[in-house]
Amino acid sequence: MKVLANDGLAQSGVAALENAGFEVILTTVAQNQLLDYINTNEVTVLLVRSATTVRTDIIDGCPSLKIIGRGGVGMDNIDVAYAREKGLHVINTPAASSHSVAELVFGHLYGISRFLHHSNREMPLEGDSNFKGLKKAYANGVELKGKTLGVLGIGRIGQATAKVALGAGMKVIAFDPFIENVNLELDFFDGQTVNFEIETISKEEVLKQADFITLHVPSQDEYVIGAPEFDLMKSSAIIVNAARGGVVDEVALVQALSEGKIKGAALDVFEKEPKPEIQLLMNPGLSLSPHIGAATGEAQDRIGTELAEQISAILK
């Protein structure tokens, strides 16, 4: 049986699938050629990440397909319900990339709190001619220890992010419409563990109390953060969206930054990927990355292995 990993697959996953007797194809097929390629090669399993979409045309037009797999959490690019109605298995790896996303969130938080997104641009340009000026410009950094992190969505990734925050000495508050409380166990290098109980509160209270805010929610029909939400935040607040493009109103975000309603923001995802709005790319109040939350070698190894295990369990 053939597995087409159209958006790539870690070598660990390739090896696990091949050891289980599958033929793994790593060719990247253009979206408009995908249906014909699957049929010509009688592909049984189609694996994607965020670049490839799997809609009704492929689901209806590819009788050899038995499994559609998403390497990651969100499956917005797959017509999941329709595929399952047609008898296909749809799988993903919801836990594999949680810690990688959490670390990226904190990469942005630490960077923007110490103006690294600015100084990394300006030092090559002015470091030799305006060293003292840059030093003064970036002199008012903020520490994360002792501050409050507000987590909107305390599922797997939200919990992983909360654990990093607790390890950094932060207070964590959270909102989630589906979860009342969570017990977080922090594991340390020497085998010690510490448990923290977090009870969720209202979204409004999170926005009012938090010094830093991070989103870990699925795609929604309406914005999770828009103008009314920015009005509730502290003027010193910094917000990070490493969840989904479209959960933050980017127009309202730019306006909130320009009016000083918040101090800064970081985006790993955008409403118009892969062509984010230019006013975002050029905005000095933003720390930006190109949707790389799960892009670590460790996460990709876990994703590949988990997909291989699920595929083998279904088809063997």
18, 85, 259, 273: which one is catalytic? 273
Whether residues 211 and 84 fall in one domain: no
Q: Is the pLDDT of residue 72 over 90?
A: no
* Beta strands 193-199 and 181-187, pairing class: antiparallel
- For the whole prediction, is pTM greater than 0.85? yes
Whether residues 199 and 109 fall in one domain: yes
| CB-based burial label for 222 (10 Å; 0-12, 13-18, 19+) | exposed
CATH number of 13's domain: 3.40.50.720
Total domain count for the chain? 2
70, 117, 291, 302: which one is catalytic? 291
pLDDT digits (tens, 9 = 90+) for 257-294: 999 999 999 999 999 999 999 999 999 999 999 999 99
Whether residues 122 and 13 fall in one domain: no
Of the candidates 137, 141, 142, 212, the one whose C-alpha atom is nearest the C-alpha of residue 173 is 212
pLDDT digits (tens, 9 = 90+) for 1-20: 999 999 999 999 999 999 99
Whether residues 80 and 196 fall in one domain: no
Cα of first residue to Cα of last residue in the chain, in angstroms, is 10
pLDDT digits (tens, 9 = 90+) for 36-70: 999 999 999 999 998 899 999 999 999 999 999 99
Whether residues 90 and 102 fall in one domain: no
What is the span of the domain harbouring residue 245?
98-288
Q: Is the pLDDT of residue 124 over 90?
A: yes
Whether residues 116 and 216 fall in one domain: yes
pLDDT digits (tens, 9 = 90+) for 250-259: 999 999 999 9
Whether residues 79 and 212 fall in one domain: no
Assess whether 291 carries a catalytic annotation: yes
Q: Which helix or strand (DSSP H or E) is residue 283 part of?
A: none
**Predicted local distance difference test score (pLDDT) of residue 74:** 82
57 φ, ψ (degrees, to nearest 5): -60, -45
DSSP percent split of the chain into helix, strand, coil, nearest 5:
40, 20, 40
Residue with tokens 């991070």: 214
Whether residues 71 and 174 fall in one domain: no
Measured in whole angstroms, how far is the alpha carbon of residue 314 from the centre of its chain? 27
Whether residues 69 and 45 fall in one domain: yes
**Which of residues 220 and 145 earns the better pLDDT score?**
145
Whether residues 188 and 267 fall in one domain: yes
Whether residues 108 and 201 fall in one domain: yes
Assess whether 85 carries a catalytic annotation: no
99, 108, 244, 302: which one is catalytic? 244
Whether residues 104 and 92 fall in one domain: no
| CB-based burial label for 242 (10 Å; 0-12, 13-18, 19+) | buried
Task: Work out the pLDDT band at 116, boundaries 50, 70, 90.
Answer: very high
Assess whether 273 carries a catalytic annotation: yes
Query: 135 by DSSP, 3-state: which?
Result: helix
